[in-house]
Amino acid sequence: MHSIMLKAKLHRAQVTHAVLDYEGSCAIDGEWLDLAGIREYEQIQIYNVDNGERFTTYAIRAEEGSKMISVNGAAAHKAGVGHRLIICTYAQYSEAELAQHKPHMLYFQPGNELSHTSHAIPVQVA
């Protein structure tokens, strides 16, 4: 049996560019892709914290160290400059792989300053 699980998450990264007339995708700082284990052209889910939009596209590499999140093509209608996004990837894991699985999560402060990384989400308390 296999389960689809969270592979990686960029939490509250801010959109730096929204380019309607660019081939559809989402350009992400190459350092962040590497740190999160997201491959170029990998499918990503984007959740817009500011307007509730949820959409699917794929990741492309932006210049390393640029702090860029560029939402391109038709997706530029769903996220504007300054919007805060949660960008996730998911993968299928076998039961044996699940015993060792830990997602890669990057957390951002305003201005796309990387706050910290984690491999677990804290338990939500009542």
Residue range(s) defining the domain that contains residue 38: 2-93+103-108
Q: How many domains, in total, are found in the chain? A: 1
- Of the pLDDT bands very low, low, confident and very high (cuts 50, 70, 90), residue 1 is confident
Q: Are 123 and 62 in contact (CB under 8 A)?
A: no
Point out the residues that are catalytic.
25, 58
Residue 71 resides in a domain: yes
Separation between Cα atoms, residue 100 and residue 95, nearest integer Å: 10
Separation between Cα atoms, residue 8 and residue 32, nearest integer Å: 11
Separation between Cα atoms, residue 12 and residue 109, nearest integer Å: 7
- Give the residue ranges of the annotated binding site for substrate: 57, 73-75
| Cβ-based burial of 23 (10 A; exposed 0-12, middle 13-18, buried ≥19) | exposed
What pLDDT score does 122 carry? 87
- Of the pLDDT bands very low, low, confident and very high (cuts 50, 70, 90), residue 23 is confident
pLDDT tens sequence across 38-75: 999 999 999 999 999 999 999 999 999 999 999 999 99
Check whether 34 has a pLDDT greater than 90.
yes
CATH of the domain at 26: 2.40.40.20
- Give the residue ranges of the annotated binding site: 57, 73-75
Residue 124 resides in a domain: no
